[in-house]
Amino acid sequence: MTRPVGTLILGLSLLAGPGCGRKGPLELPPGREPAPAERVTAAFENGAVVLTWANPVKAVSGKPVGPLEAIEIWVLEGAGPAAGTAPAPAEVEAEARLALRIATDGREATMSRSVPVPEGAKRLALTVRVRDRRGRVSAFSPWAVVDVARAPGGPAPAESEGP
């Protein structure tokens, strides 16, 4: 009599086994992506925009960030957003363009790059996104906005920065 009960238990465990477990792709635990770049500033100098920022040293969770792989600089032309506002990823990827992708070993705390100004552009908004070596990306930094209107003999364009 014990044999049918054992067979029944074994049969039920085989039927229930494939239904257990997590379905779908594996996901990395939340909070381990790098925090956004900080102190992002933009200034118009000698026909180009010089963008300066501080790379994150912590992940969103507050733990130290792992090695960085790349820095992405995104540019939006035209009226654009106000300086210091944090953009949504969908907004940036739909409206802005990737201007530079910089490979890095993550050792530089503060970085600066010259971004070419498109012909006829009068105002640019720039944001920075950081990618670590595990493929995790930070949120976009707040917009840094700079006026690049070139008036002959006129005053130098104003510069803006994010928080």
**Residue pLDDT, tens place only, 41-59:** 999 988 899 999 999 999 9
96 neighbors 76 (Cβ within 8 angstroms)? yes
| Total length of the chain | 163
- Domain contains 124: yes
- Pair of tokens at residue 102: 């910089």
- Domain contains 43: yes
- Domain contains 24: no
- Domain contains 7: no
Owning domain of residue 105: 30-161
130 neighbors 40 (Cβ within 8 angstroms)? no
146 neighbors 41 (Cβ within 8 angstroms)? no
Report the predicted TM-score, pTM, of the whole model to 2 decimal places: 0.73
- Indicate which CATH number applies to the domain containing 41: 2.60.40.10
Burial degree of 76 (CB within 10 A; 0-12, 13-18, 19+): buried
- Domain contains 51: yes
- Domain contains 12: no
- Domain contains 41: yes
Q: Considering its fold, how many domains does the chain have in total?
A: 1
CA–CA separation, 8 vs 15, rounded Å? 11
The reported pLDDT for the residue numbered 35 is 94
